[in-house]
Amino acid sequence: MDFGFSEEDEAFRVEARAWLAAHAGTGTGGRAWERTLGKAGWIGLGWPEPGYGNRTAGLTRQVAWAEEYARSSAPPRSGHIGENLLAPTLLAHGTDAHKARFLPPIAAGEELWCQGYSEPGAGSDLAGVRTVAVPDGPHYRITGQKTWTSLARDADWCFVLARTDPDSRRHHGLGFLLVPMDQPGRVEVRPIRQLTGTSDFNEVFFDGAYARAEHLVGGAGEGWRVAMSLLGFERGVSTLAQQIGFAEELARVVRAARESGAVHDPVVRARLVRQWAELRTMRWNALRTLGGFGDPGAPSVAKLLWAGWHQRLGELAVQVRGAAATAGPADWSPAAPYELDAAQHLFLFSRADTVYGGSDQIQRGIVAERVLGLPREPKGAV
């Protein structure tokens, strides 16, 4: 089961491969790399509307680009939150002014975004948000805290789910707000140190006396509808590119198993085969659901599949190396941060896979309630 690529699609793939071969090794990521992508029109391929400095491509060509990007070992993307989450949301719910203001700089790689959803005490329960936004003339003053905010240190803007009606509860009375991050003394970003020693996630604090949100998307009280629409864009073509990265990680684990001799252990062999088979199944499921709409359980099922799979791969990566997996690649020094090799980083970082982006518990709740029609899980009032 796979896509049928036309000759025109294959020509597009060849163009993408050649461009990536010429440019992927020229930078290390970040804003400079986003600008390089934007200058060539590679940002916004999946947007249904052209005219913002982006070229557009059908589903098969989006798949071809994503696959070639993953295979090219190009730098990690810093602009994917703006391109793949906010932009489709603005195209669906934003005003013409919103589109004209924000889509061109996203397509050019000039403005980076982060997502302000999760909060302490609420986690993946989006309806439990306590961040408050109060009207103040044409803007809103925003007070509250967001956590696990990826890329917040580098972002220019944050889209924030906040309570615009202070007397509301749960998913009622919410607003989807666009907040500039460059507000010294008003918006504070604090890195969260992880098991890996890095700080990919952050806490963000909004001081309501001064912090302002300049734009409201979808209208007052419509934040829940807009936020749910955005989550529908979170799974898509990028899932296939993610799986190519997973396949490369699995290949490294197989090589390590051969080198260590663990491949001769029948238990290890069975786990390796299972990882391979499950990865193939995930690809078929992604292809089956790609481009489809109206299935409320598909994104949750996809998240449950890949998160658990990737976590088990991390466990297998250290298992096949045996005792050697407990030693780092360099001598430890109290004066310097500890170092991890690729397998150790995979093992430690993948512990978060079943939590961020909606925990497994939340995903199972969505499937239970929206697909199986089971009674809603009781939740406390907010």
Give tens-digit pLDDT for 236-264. Answer: 566 777 888 899 899 999 999 999 999 99
Q: Which residues 6+ apart lie within 8 Å of 175 measured at CB? A: 133, 140, 161, 162, 163, 164, 216, 220, 221, 222, 223
Pairing between β-strand 139-146 and β-strand 212-213 as defined by DSSP bridges = antiparallel
pLDDT at 363: 85
Q: Which of 67, 111, 222, 234 is catalytic?
A: 234
Average per-residue pLDDT for the chain: 85
Known catalytic residue at 234: yes
166 closest CA partner among 139, 138, 142, 137 = 142
Q: Which residues 6+ apart lie within 8 Å of 195 measured at CB? A: 348, 349, 351
Instruction: List the beta bridge partners of residue 144.
Output: 206
d(CA 276, CA 281): 9
CB 116 within 8 A of CB 150: no
| Confidence check: pLDDT of 314 > 70 | yes
| Confidence check: pLDDT of 15 > 90 | yes
Phi-psi bin for 65: left (phi > 0), alpha (psi -120 to 50), beta?
A: alpha
pLDDT at 1: 42
**Burial profile 350-363: b = 16 or more Cβ within 10 angstroms, e = fewer:** bebbbbbbbbbebb
Pairing between β-strand 157-163 and β-strand 113-116 as defined by DSSP bridges = parallel
Sequential DSSP letters for 278-345: HHHHHHHHHHHHTT--S-TTHHHHHHHHHHHHHHHHHHHHHHTTGGGGGS-SS---TTS-----HHHH
Reported as a pLDDT band with limits 50, 70 and 90, residue 381 is very low
d(CA 324, CA 358): 34
d(CA 304, CA 298): 10
134 or 338, greater pLDDT: 134
pLDDT at 176: 93
Phi, psi of 212 (to 5 degrees): -120, 145
Report in angstroms the alpha-carbon separations of 17 from 6, 14, 68, 74, 355.
Answer: 16, 5, 6, 11, 34
CB 204 within 8 A of CB 113: no
Reported as a pLDDT band with limits 50, 70 and 90, residue 48 is confident
| Confidence check: pLDDT of 380 > 70 | no
CB 174 within 8 A of CB 223: yes
| Confidence check: pLDDT of 141 > 80 | yes
Q: Vertex 149, ends 143 and 309: CA angle to 5°?
A: 145
CB 53 within 8 A of CB 41: yes
Sole residue written with tokens 């504070």: 188
